[in-house]
Amino acid sequence: MGGSKVAATDVVAGSTIVLIVLLGPPGAGKGTQAARLSAKYGIPQISTGDMLRAAVAATTPLGERVKGIMEAGELVPDDVMLEVVEDRLSQPDCASGAILDGYPRTAGQAETLDPLVWRIGQGRSSLVLVLDVPEEEVIRRISGRLEEAGEAGKRDDDEDHVVLERLRVYRELTEPLVEFYRDKGVMTEIVGVGTVDEIFDRMDATVREHLQG
């Protein structure tokens, strides 16, 4: 094995199975960084937002159920999400672990995550990385995404008023999870400002430390 690339087998050898949870406000860069961690460590990225958008696009029963909720910037109920995530984590490609991007997002989801991974696997070591980005920066980034994408490419929930609602929901329901995980001693805050590479290097250093520790 050359360079600094770490193979999935190292992940497994280092600490049984790894579940990496990315927390952070909308627009913090979770999706971008999750994709890079996934490529480097050979474990899948599970983006609940992408899964739900795919369900909406395919007009599945799940998609029909969540469409309006997503368009309004609200959260899909915990019981629906639990089913979606349990189903996804049970797939064979998650046998060595996964990177959760956008889950959990409520106290209820966080509380059922541990029992869920125990049920599916053999007990996993989990690591929570919080991407810390000031709110002004988040709004600037999401507005940029809106302009760059143009009408055809923009996400339905990137409209200004929906962005503000998603930020409000984050502050009210998701941000408290930072304390929840801090108390459990499995959380590391990552400065989420800088270039994509700089932020990735910070996250990667934490993952390596965790795997070696």
Active site residues: 30, 105, 145, 155, 166
Here the tokens at position 153 are 């490419």
Residue given tokens 């966080």 in the structure block? 110
Size of the residue set binding ligand AMP (CB under 6 A)? 17
Nearer to ligand AMP by Cβ, of 11 and 166: the residue is 166
Q: How far is the CB of 129 from ligand AMP (least distance, A)?
A: 15
Burial tier of 8 (Cβ tally within 10 Å: 0-12, 13-18, 19+): middle
Residue 103 is a binding residue for ligand AMP (CB under 6 A): yes
Tell me whether residue 96 or residue 109 sits nearer to ligand AMP (CB atom): 109
Residue among 102 and 211 whose Cβ is closer to ligand AMP: 102
- Which residue is nearest to ligand AMP, using beta carbons? 49
SS3 content of the chain, % helix, strand, coil (to 5): 60, 15, 25
Residue 104: asked if its preceding bond is cis (omega within 30°), the reply is yes
Rg (CA), the chain: 17
Q: Is 52 in the site for ligand AMP (CB under 6 A)?
A: yes
Rule CB under 6 A: which residues touch ligand AMP?
26, 48-49, 52, 69-70, 73-76, 81, 102-103, 105, 109, 157, 166
